[in-house]
Structure 1
Amino acid sequence: MKKTRMFPFERNRYFYGKLLTVRDFESEQKYFNDKRRLLNRLLFGSGVVAGMQVVPVDDKTITVEMGVALDYLGREIVISSPVTLKLSMIEGFTNNEYKKNVYLYAAYDEKGREPVHSVGNSSVRGEEVNEYNRYLESYRLFVKEEPPAPASFEHAGLLEDIVTLYQDSHVRVTQRMPKYANPGDVVDVVLIVEKTLQTPRVSLAFDYSAEGFDPLGKDGSSVRFLEPGDSQETEYRHSYSVKVQDKAGTVGKLTLRPEALELFIGDNRIPIDHTVTHGVDIIEQPVAERVLKDWYERPLDQAVEGYADQHVCLAKIGLLQLGPTYMIEQVERVPFGEYIPNASLMQRITLNGRSSSLNRFYAEAKAYDLSYGSTPELDVVYHPERNAFDFKLGIPKPQAIHDEIATGMLEVPLEKNAKTGLRLFSRGQRNFVTEEIAHGLGTGHVTIVVGLEETPKADAAVGSDGERVYYGAVDVFKDTEYEAELPGVSFGTLVYPDKGTFRIGMKLKDTAEISSLRVRWWAFKKLHDGVESSIPADIAEAIAFSQAAASEEK
């Protein structure tokens, strides 16, 4: 299509006896094609109209479904039947590196068809000449391995100020702000991290300085992004908000200096050697009116041909390297939002939205975990362009208890034998078995630990040792300062898992001077299989000690 400002549209004028030549027939087709494409370009824009879904068939093959799109010159791209291709066979795909993202594009393409003998040319040239009898308005699929520049899309320059913080063959970090803002507006700054699937975890932290803006949120002018450890995405978006100051007619600036910016890819810190600055025009005029003004006042040649080299991106395809080859891991359809909406549908959506959203606010909420014992956090961001509040609530995690513990104490009296003067269990026996004791942990298997409790004497000096509990063999402390005034007792336990009860069996190994035994028991029950026990260290040591002592006695 020729530049319309330099070449006005012409159409044939027919009259009886007019001699029609090739030029006349070509002009006839060109007139309608160019005018239709001009209107397509200016009224509808560019992008996918319907269909053209990209679907992975297997690890190396994709299918592009039937569909219609308009390119950036207003030409119709029609895929009339599904196309299945191996990715390696598509134009532009190279085999030098597989751990990457590739971008599948569709472009308008004309192809000659039906070659026929040209009588007129052969009479001039003196040899047989063939010419194509038809043009097939077709398409071309090809791959690019570099992502398009964020500002290369038509509407990006009208709506947003986009800066690049860092870019290499595997990672690109950009940041976006609205190009215009009104005083008092709260605007979102969007940080976008694009990466390949096999690129290590990305983290970013920086402090920004602002002129014409006030930071919002609990972090002030500090921004932190950390890629989730279990995620498998190729793009992440992190937003923070600033409030526009009442300085109409000025340019607000948000600056990121390299010394205040830390970018890590895996364990490697990436040096940033340039300053990044956003410029936002603070205006009194409504932002939508200003954007429309810029749109309608753009030069016609820019509107028609300013993006002639741009093509419609159908998919971003994430690849994983598998040894000497690759596999398709993800397919993101129309990754840059190049769609052409239906005008009547958009009108209905707009009307329904207006009738139902007047004087109504919307809320979006996200919750995230905080460590146990932290103070709950609440961060609220208001989006005036859609009457929406964004609530972010930090909730402390509950205390993790993976085992249940119960304890109790029972006192077993010892009777004095009138003949021998020795104190034994009732009926003069050295062995004693308690009644069933309910541990309170319900049915199921439990572990029981039993110990002897010694209380301090009433006349004990101030500052002396207080209450003691001995687990395992008491006689190991004999002839030490920790020797117990307790008889040697062997313990055994009998557990009834179906009842939730147990018995304690005791055996006196030597004589006893005291009138009763104070027996302290602990019951432990595992709640979740495969979770590390949370038994206190001192109790765990007592269990191990008692088990070792029991095996030694045997």
Structure 2
Amino acid sequence: MKNARMFPFERNRYFYGKLLTVRDFESEQKYLNDKRRLLNRLLFGSGVVAGMQVVAVDDKTITVEMGLAIDYIGREIVVPSPVTLKLSMIDGFTNNEYKKNVYLYVAYDEKGREPVHSVGNSSVRGEEVGEYNRLLESYRLFVKEEAPDPRTFENVQLLEDVVILHQDANVRVSQRMPKYVNPGDVVDVTLVVEKTLQTPRVSVSFGYEADGFDPVGYDGNRVSFVEPGEGQETEYRHTYSVKVQDRPGTLGKLRLPAEAIELFIGDNRIPIDHAAVHSSEIVSKPAMERVLKDWYERSLDQAAEGSADREVCLAKIGLLQVGPTYIIEQVERVPFGEYIPNASLMQRMALTGRGASLNRFYAEAQTYDVDYGAKPELGVTYHPERNAFEFKLGIPKPQAIQDEIATGVVEVPLDATAKTPRRFFSRGLRNFVTDEIFHGLGAGQVTLVVGLEEHTDGRAFVYYDSSDVFKGTDYEADVPNVRFGTIVYPASGSFRIGMKLIEATEAQKLSVRWWAFKKLQPGTADAAAGAVIGHAMAEAAAAKEEDS
């Protein structure tokens, strides 16, 4: 089966006296091999079945453990025993640039074994001819220094729409989203940043335009990713979510205009010369049914050929440049998820998963502050890897009061003969004025609020403005109806309260509650706090000196 093109299967028909030649025996082998490989390809797929772990032995050497894989045309690849190789000795590795990622692949290979003398060929050709008596089904390891395009993988073509934002020798920035979506679903869009270890810090931000989708989260249609400062990875994934509008039968678009994409590698801004556009079909039936429809409607040629020219990638190896050479910094096994799961294991997981915690949803929540007067914000992100919804609630800050406040109570005797430093005069005139009261807020303008305070059944009530509005209700006051006035002395930080009785009263005294409000200038509170702290420190130092 030298290529994936399928021809009608044809097998030998045996009968007595049939003359068997090389062609017949080769046809026998080809018939069995092609059928088995076709079934491998269509039923199981391609990738690593077991083993083939890649391990860094030292700074320049790797080991590939024994294992089994199936390639993209159904051939079995067997590594029968561990093999240890210098990375520089593997086919495809070049020494011209050490700051890079390299990709280790395994491919099917055949090798001749047991050379023998060919009697038949020597009689025809007239000279001694050697042939191999056996063909060893083996493997070949080699290196590629460019990452494969994610859009060339068969499973990605079926499930996802992938766009490339930027790609060069050291960095590739791509984005993925589902190919089919359902109305009302919240779907994840994944930004993928792939880089070499020594590439400077990468950051990406953009605003997207949506047709058929609504942004989800407190950032709206803005997306931002900054590589962690301590980041030592070669791949990062940043996920944000959009909600699908109720528009079945249409094509949803997510567009990233080139001018809206800000990509920085280190301190250098990388210009983007093309827009990236996602297309997702909004379908009324479950999205997975639509994917299966594509799968089942493939032609036999498409199904059998698939990615026939692709090999299985065993590892992504990150290299660090050290002077004139390199070291292996990290090894990521099977970086593109090319595994073949065991069918019975998958069935068991499906059965046990029905009642397991994998089908339960969890909620995580956190809050953050937004400016006073702003609307509360709510952002929701779904993390499918742990079945968790993350809620972020933005709560407006309380109003910052830049005022200083003082309060007090003045006991006002209505008897003119009473001895008090703040008594009211001339009861017969029904007008009363207090002595000068110092509010304690210092010099400057203040605002005063004055009311009558009453104590009933252990509770305090303060009546501001006219108390006669409560007459005839359950809240009728026992204090007389009074009109207040105030005089403020900004220079001395004091004031007086004037009071006029509107009606007769038998009360011997009244309790007058006052509030003084002073607007602070910016920085005044900090300066005052600093002065208090400085004074306290000075007192503490003086006390310490006195003790010594």
Question: Same fold judged by TM-score > 0.5?
Answer: yes
Letter in 1 for 2:319: L
**1:13 Cα deviation (Å)?**
1.3
Asked whether the equivalents of residues 378 and 391 of structure 1 are also in contact (C-alpha less than 8 Å), the reply is no
Residue in 1 that maps onto 2:316:
316
What SS class does the counterpart of residue 224 from structure 2 fall into?
strand
Report which stretch shifted further, 360-369 or 344-353: 360-369
Q: State how far apart, in whole Å, the 1-side matches of 2:365 and 2:65 are.
A: 36
Residue in 2 that maps onto 1:77:
77
Residue in 1 that maps onto 2:181:
181
**For residues 268-287 of structure 1, what are the structure 2 equivalents within 5 Å?**
268-287=268-287
**For residues 149-228 of structure 1, what are the structure 2 equivalents within 5 Å?**
149-228=149-228
Q: State how far apart, in whole Å, the 2-side matches of 1:537 and 1:59 are.
A: 62
Q: State how far apart, in whole Å, the 2-side matches of 1:234 and 1:85 are.
A: 23
User: Residues 124 and 213 (structure 1 numbering): CA distance in 2 closer, same or farther, change over 3 Å?
Assistant: same
Q: State how far apart, in whole Å, the 2-side matches of 1:541 and 1:98 are.
A: 64
**1:7 Cα deviation (Å)?**
2.1
For structure 2, the 5+ residue unaligned runs are 396-437, 445-529
User: Residues 370 and 97 (structure 1 numbering): CA distance in 2 closer, same or farther, change over 3 Å?
Assistant: farther
**1:305 Cα deviation (Å)?**
1.3
Asked whether the equivalents of residues 264 and 270 of structure 1 are also in contact (C-alpha less than 8 Å), the reply is yes
Q: State how far apart, in whole Å, the 2-side matches of 1:155 and 1:239 are.
A: 20
Q: State how far apart, in whole Å, the 1-side matches of 2:86 and 2:64 are.
A: 11
Q: State how far apart, in whole Å, the 2-side matches of 1:136 and 1:367 are.
A: 61
**1:370 Cα deviation (Å)?**
9.1
Letter in 1 for 2:235: E
Report which stretch shifted further, 282-291 or 195-204: 282-291
**For residues 155-554 of structure 1, what are the structure 2 equivalents within 5 Å?**
155-356=155-356, 361-363=360-362, 365=364, 379-382=379-382, 388-391=387-390
Task: Tell me the TM-score normalised to structure 1 length.
Answer: 0.69
What SS class does the counterpart of residue 74 from structure 2 fall into?
coil
Asked whether the equivalents of residues 203 and 227 of structure 2 are also in contact (C-alpha less than 8 Å), the reply is yes
Asked whether the equivalents of residues 380 and 389 of structure 2 are also in contact (C-alpha less than 8 Å), the reply is yes
Q: State how far apart, in whole Å, the 2-side matches of 1:236 and 1:65 are.
A: 28
User: Residues 64 and 370 (structure 1 numbering): CA distance in 2 closer, same or farther, change over 3 Å?
Assistant: farther
User: Residues 151 and 47 (structure 1 numbering): CA distance in 2 closer, same or farther, change over 3 Å?
Assistant: same
**1:283 Cα deviation (Å)?**
0.8
What SS class does the counterpart of residue 259 from structure 1 fall into?
helix
User: Residues 94 and 173 (structure 1 numbering): CA distance in 2 closer, same or farther, change over 3 Å?
Assistant: same
Residue in 1 that maps onto 2:501:
none
Q: State how far apart, in whole Å, the 2-side matches of 1:120 and 1:333 are.
A: 49
What SS class does the counterpart of residue 356 from structure 2 fall into?
helix
**1:285 Cα deviation (Å)?**
1.6
Asked whether the equivalents of residues 216 and 379 of structure 2 are also in contact (C-alpha less than 8 Å), the reply is no
Residue in 2 that maps onto 1:130:
130
Letter in 2 for 1:154: E
Residue in 1 that maps onto 2:92:
92
Asked whether the equivalents of residues 71 and 77 of structure 1 are also in contact (C-alpha less than 8 Å), the reply is yes
Letter in 2 for 1:389: A
Task: Tell me the TM-score normalised to structure 2 length.
Answer: 0.70
Asked whether the equivalents of residues 3 and 308 of structure 2 are also in contact (C-alpha less than 8 Å), the reply is no
Letter in 2 for 1:84: T
**1:395 Cα deviation (Å)?**
11
Letter in 1 for 2:209: S
Q: State how far apart, in whole Å, the 2-side matches of 1:245 and 1:12 are.
A: 60
**1:390 Cα deviation (Å)?**
2.5
What SS class does the counterpart of residue 98 from structure 1 fall into?
coil
**1:354 Cα deviation (Å)?**
1.6
**1:4 Cα deviation (Å)?**
8.2
**1:114 Cα deviation (Å)?**
0.9
**For residues 45-64 of structure 1, what are the structure 2 equivalents within 5 Å?**
45-64=45-64
User: Residues 540 and 353 (structure 1 numbering): CA distance in 2 closer, same or farther, change over 3 Å?
Assistant: same
Asked whether the equivalents of residues 376 and 393 of structure 1 are also in contact (C-alpha less than 8 Å), the reply is no
**For residues 33-44 of structure 1, what are the structure 2 equivalents within 5 Å?**
33-44=33-44
Asked whether the equivalents of residues 104 and 144 of structure 1 are also in contact (C-alpha less than 8 Å), the reply is yes
Residue in 1 that maps onto 2:518:
none
What SS class does the counterpart of residue 198 from structure 2 fall into?
coil
Q: State how far apart, in whole Å, the 2-side matches of 1:212 and 1:376 are.
A: 26
Q: State how far apart, in whole Å, the 1-side matches of 2:393 and 2:214 are.
A: 23
**1:203 Cα deviation (Å)?**
0.5
Q: State how far apart, in whole Å, the 2-side matches of 1:221 and 1:306 are.
A: 37
What SS class does the counterpart of residue 355 from structure 1 fall into?
coil
Q: State how far apart, in whole Å, the 2-side matches of 1:35 and 1:370 are.
A: 65
CA RMSD of superposed structures (Å): 3.4
Structure 1's consecutive aligned runs of 4 or more residues displaced over 4 angstroms after TM superposition are 2-6, 364-371, 375-378, 392-396, 536-544
Q: Structure 1 vs Structure 2: percent identity of aligned residues?
A: 72
What SS class does the counterpart of residue 218 from structure 1 fall into?
coil
Aligned: 1:24 with 2:17: no
Q: State how far apart, in whole Å, the 1-side matches of 2:385 and 2:56 are.
A: 36
Asked whether the equivalents of residues 108 and 140 of structure 1 are also in contact (C-alpha less than 8 Å), the reply is yes
**1:253 Cα deviation (Å)?**
0.2
Asked whether the equivalents of residues 60 and 328 of structure 1 are also in contact (C-alpha less than 8 Å), the reply is yes
Q: State how far apart, in whole Å, the 1-side matches of 2:367 and 2:191 are.
A: 19
Residue in 1 that maps onto 2:115:
115
Q: State how far apart, in whole Å, the 2-side matches of 1:20 and 1:106 are.
A: 37
1:269-314 alpha-carbon deviations (Å, 9 max, x no partner): 0000101100000111211111111001111111111311111000
1:453-498 alpha-carbon deviations (Å, 9 max, x no partner): xxxxx9xxx869xxxxxxxxxxxxxxxxxxxxxxxxxxxxxxxxxx
Q: State how far apart, in whole Å, the 1-side matches of 2:5 and 2:100 are.
A: 43
What SS class does the counterpart of residue 84 from structure 1 fall into?
strand
Asked whether the equivalents of residues 255 and 275 of structure 1 are also in contact (C-alpha less than 8 Å), the reply is yes
Q: State how far apart, in whole Å, the 2-side matches of 1:41 and 1:96 are.
A: 38
Asked whether the equivalents of residues 159 and 178 of structure 2 are also in contact (C-alpha less than 8 Å), the reply is yes
**1:315 Cα deviation (Å)?**
0.3
Residue in 1 that maps onto 2:411:
none
What SS class does the counterpart of residue 301 from structure 1 fall into?
helix
Q: State how far apart, in whole Å, the 2-side matches of 1:366 and 1:148 are.
A: 38
Asked whether the equivalents of residues 361 and 387 of structure 1 are also in contact (C-alpha less than 8 Å), the reply is no
Asked whether the equivalents of residues 216 and 380 of structure 2 are also in contact (C-alpha less than 8 Å), the reply is no
Q: State how far apart, in whole Å, the 2-side matches of 1:234 and 1:137 are.
A: 35
Q: State how far apart, in whole Å, the 2-side matches of 1:264 and 1:243 are.
A: 29
Residue in 2 that maps onto 1:486:
none
1:381-421 alpha-carbon deviations (Å, 9 max, x no partner): 247x889333155899xxxxxxxxxxxxxxxxxxxxxxxxx
User: Residues 116 and 367 (structure 1 numbering): CA distance in 2 closer, same or farther, change over 3 Å?
Assistant: farther
User: Residues 188 and 102 (structure 1 numbering): CA distance in 2 closer, same or farther, change over 3 Å?
Assistant: same
User: Residues 316 and 376 (structure 1 numbering): CA distance in 2 closer, same or farther, change over 3 Å?
Assistant: farther
Q: State how far apart, in whole Å, the 2-side matches of 1:234 and 1:154 are.
A: 24
Letter in 2 for 1:255: R
Asked whether the equivalents of residues 249 and 283 of structure 1 are also in contact (C-alpha less than 8 Å), the reply is yes
Asked whether the equivalents of residues 91 and 141 of structure 1 are also in contact (C-alpha less than 8 Å), the reply is yes
**1:66 Cα deviation (Å)?**
0.5
Q: State how far apart, in whole Å, the 2-side matches of 1:343 and 1:543 are.
A: 76
Q: State how far apart, in whole Å, the 2-side matches of 1:325 and 1:370 are.
A: 50
Q: State how far apart, in whole Å, the 2-side matches of 1:109 and 1:220 are.
A: 53
Q: State how far apart, in whole Å, the 1-side matches of 2:245 and 2:254 are.
A: 13
**1:356 Cα deviation (Å)?**
3.3
Q: State how far apart, in whole Å, the 2-side matches of 1:4 and 1:209 are.
A: 42
Q: State how far apart, in whole Å, the 1-side matches of 2:136 and 2:365 are.
A: 52
Letter in 2 for 1:140: R
Letter in 1 for 2:117: H
